[in-house]
Structure 1
Amino acid sequence: MNKIWIINANIVLENQILNNGFLEMSGGKITVIDQMDNCPSLASIENVIDCQLKGYIIPGMIDIHVHGALGHDFMDADQICYSKMAKYLASEGITAFLATTMTAPMSEIEATIEELSSYYKNQPTAVAEMLGIHLEGPFINGAKKGAQPEEYILKPNVQQFNDLYDKSQQSIRLVTFAPEEDSNFELLKELTSKGIIASIGHSDADYHTAIHALKAGITHATHLFNGMSGLHHRDPGVVGAVLLAEDVYVEVIPDNIHFHKDLLPMVYKMTGLDRLLVITDGIRAKGMPDGMYSLGGNEVEVINNQCIQRKTGSLAGSVLNMNTARKNIEEWLTLSIVEQMRLVSLNQAVHLGFDKRKGSIALGKDADVVWLNEEGEVEKTFCLGNLAFEKG
């Protein structure tokens, strides 16, 4: 693989910005990071990108909750569609993701899992990397189903999950389920024994039950405020339990649709930088014009960035662009570019156990880097050192 140099760049490292620096990418890894004063002469060398000190070089963003994009959905069980979605995600500055499923007939979930596991083992280059599967449903509570089809919701079942896990070739990384429906927390115990992230979501648990579930091994909360019992002064619910916990990672969809933007500072004060995870919850309408789309076999109408299930009036995912989400948290929380990277990249990598190779720009890590121009837009995206997106 040819070497690529990025020069005259403001490089966002894990805890600081290296101004007027350069980096070298080779063999899919970051092999050199240094000041421009120490840069070798590259006048006669190809594959040199001169940032001219404009914008920032940031680590690639990681979306751990995305269902689809560009007219496709991971539940389509089509590897050609998967590669198209992965290519599109790079345009948002996403270099890695978890392919997210949803509640459906078990036969459809099984078919999806098998296709995803096959794709996972033989991924194309120059696209965002699939890090595994996020199983959202079918083991949820119908009272908080949101856009998940109620007729296919199942009680948590260890044997059914293990069948899916085997079909996934052990690539399921995260499971969203309702622990109050889980008899004696049997599924929760199974997830923790396998090192799979157990997430409370689409759950109507009261505060007491939620606290017990957190103590039993829940370490993640799926799309905070949405699909869970809310904060009430006599029952803090799932929202209260996860915000008060000290070791639970919390997903947020910062689009000012799934929750009011003025709530984000409150959430941030309780979670700090280390427990907040920005996601998009994107559906097949992401990157597409307004109109009618399908999700879980139901019609979804997209108008002015809102995705509404026609049948129930429920919100049905989003069309949020990950870089727009980053800009929103920059504005709403007044975060520095270094701090933003924790919420869109590093926290995800740490939580998934991929931080030795992803989540920040450092020597030896994957060459997943994004050039944000002076307007904060994605200029170029590199996935494992391959150019995956170039503006224009």
Structure 2
Amino acid sequence: MLYGNILTPDGWQLGELRWQAGRISRLGGEPVDPATNDHPRILPGFIDLHVHGGGGADTMEGGAALETLARTHARFGTTSLLATTMTAPDAEIRRVLGEIDAYLRAPAADAARVLGVHLEGPYINPGKLGAQPAHARSGAIEEVDALCALAPIRLVTLAPELSGHFALIRHLTARGIRVQLGHTLGSYEEGVEALEHGACGFTHLFNAMTGLHHRKPGMVGAALAHADYAELIPDLLHVHPGAIRAALRCIPHLYAVTDSTAAAGMPDGDYCLGEQTVTKCLGGVRLADGTLAGSTLTMDQALRNLVGLGLTLAEASDRLSRFPADFLGLPERGRLAEGAPADLVVLDPRLNLQAVFVEGRAIEGAPPCP
């Protein structure tokens, strides 16, 4: 049982939240403005749809690395995530998908739930790799179906301008797999057409895509003018606060991701990102040539950053929990309601993390509940 300011789908309530067998069994109290008291703030657990690593472990290592990254991010309030792959040779992608599937069959009990896979590449533009290795290529339906047979792929990032990709978008959408546009040199018109074929989001908005110009609106322009959903890295390094504010005004369900690497939760130094070595220093992660290469962001800091930009705590919570859950079609996750999984984060009035629960289980290494 927890007592405090509970963020429910109907607003803030001061009262009790109870759970049994991993699901919320009771919650309720009186409507409240949490600014009027010092009781804890109880929010839905964070859902991160773009996670490459954490705690020194990289998704592409597979095996024990998956448990390490899931445990690491749970300590910072992430209760569900998508294990995100890197562009790589086909054999390497197939290997790691098999290892992710094996982990999903026997996941760690005290870690963030891995909901499936975000396949970021290899179906991206070789001219807009960002920090992706140089194994980009066009995708074929038969190849993608073979990958989907290896693990539950929930989300695919691709460049729509590559040959055959409009047909691939339609096929993935028909299979219930979400498609985001990213690592792309595509035009505004190609972005709009991709949305018409079923694409429904944009990967790390503003980064690794054609920018907005008033005569060539680019992929960013397509997102700002037409998107309902898009992911964004709010570490205040990947995207200027002014651009974040513009996106918040334009995209109704803009949601936060970390795009975190093995360096998340770790000291400065060298780490792996797929087949590449990246360096954490000065709050960021970069390749040897200075290119940003994912982040060290954790979701609790993403929440504080969004609140610092002027969002209310409830608005920021939606962009870390409810919106990503809705994007994946998971209506019982990302919100606190009776019958929903007891995925919870507890914050003090200064938004410092106090406790984390995944399906009612307290996370080892998270701060103790006050």
The share of aligned pairs that are identical, in percent, is: 37
Does the alignment pair 1:107 with 2:115? no
Gaps of at least 5 residues in structure 1 are: 37-51
Deviates more, 1:373-382 or 1:23-32: 373-382
AA at the equivalent of 1:6: L
Cα displacement (A) at 1:233: 1.6
Does the alignment pair 1:18 with 2:13? yes
Moved over 2 A (4+): 52-55
Cα displacement (A) at 1:261: 1.2
Do the aligned partners of 2:139 and 2:165 also contact (CA within 8 Å) in 1? no
Q: Structure 1 CA distance, aligned partners of 2:163 and 2:26?
A: 49
Does the alignment pair 1:350 with 2:330? no
Q: Structure 2 CA distance, aligned partners of 1:214 and 1:246?
A: 8
Does the alignment pair 1:308 with 2:303? no
Specify the alignment match of 1:93 in structure 2.
77
Please list the CA deviations of residues 274-305 of structure 1 after superposition, one character each: whole Å capped at 9, or x if unmatched: x1110000000111111112212222111111
Q: Structure 2 CA distance, aligned partners of 1:386 and 1:184?
A: 42
Please list the CA deviations of residues 147-194 of structure 1 after superposition, one character each: whole Å capped at 9, or x if unmatched: 1111x11212111111110111xx100000011004262211210110
Q: Structure 1 CA distance, aligned partners of 2:270 and 2:73?
A: 21
Specify the alignment match of 1:279 in structure 2.
257
Specify the alignment match of 1:45 in structure 2.
none
Please list the CA deviations of residues 323-368 of structure 1 after superposition, one character each: whole Å capped at 9, or x if unmatched: 1111101111x1222111110000011111111x211100000000
* Equivalences for residues 171-190 of structure 1 within 5 A: 171-183=152-164, 185-190=166-171
Cα displacement (A) at 1:15: 3.5
Deviates more, 1:208-217 or 1:343-352: 208-217
Does the alignment pair 1:219 with 2:213? no
Q: Structure 1 CA distance, aligned partners of 2:343 and 2:91?
A: 35
Specify the alignment match of 1:59 in structure 2.
44
Closer, same or farther in 2 for the Cα pair 1:135/1:386, shift >3 Å?
same
Residue of 352, 359, 365 corresponding to 2:334: 359
AA at the equivalent of 1:367: A
AA at the equivalent of 1:336: T
Closer, same or farther in 2 for the Cα pair 1:387/1:184, shift >3 Å?
closer
Structure with max Cα Rg? 1
Does the alignment pair 1:258 with 2:229? no
Residue of 270, 286, 308 corresponding to 2:250: 270
Specify the alignment match of 2:28 in structure 1.
34
Closer, same or farther in 2 for the Cα pair 1:30/1:53, shift >3 Å?
farther
Specify the alignment match of 2:34 in structure 1.
none
AA at the equivalent of 2:236: N
AA at the equivalent of 1:241: A
Secondary structure of 2:190 counterpart:
helix
* Equivalences for residues 205-244 of structure 1 within 5 A: 205-244=186-225
User: TM-score, structure 2 length as denominator?
Assistant: 0.95
Does the alignment pair 1:149 with 2:133? yes
Secondary structure of 1:300 counterpart:
strand
Specify the alignment match of 1:374 in structure 2.
349
| Structural RMSD (CA) | 1.4
Deviates more, 1:178-187 or 1:262-271: 178-187
Residue of 143, 151, 170 corresponding to 1:160: 143
Gaps of at least 5 residues in structure 2 are: 31-36
Does the alignment pair 1:320 with 2:297? yes
Specify the alignment match of 1:330 in structure 2.
307
Q: Structure 2 CA distance, aligned partners of 1:96 and 1:157?
A: 30
Specify the alignment match of 2:266 in structure 1.
288
Does the alignment pair 1:73 with 2:58? yes
Do the aligned partners of 2:223 and 2:251 also contact (CA within 8 Å) in 1? no
Secondary structure of 2:161 counterpart:
helix
The count of aligned residue pairs is 361
AA at the equivalent of 2:285: C
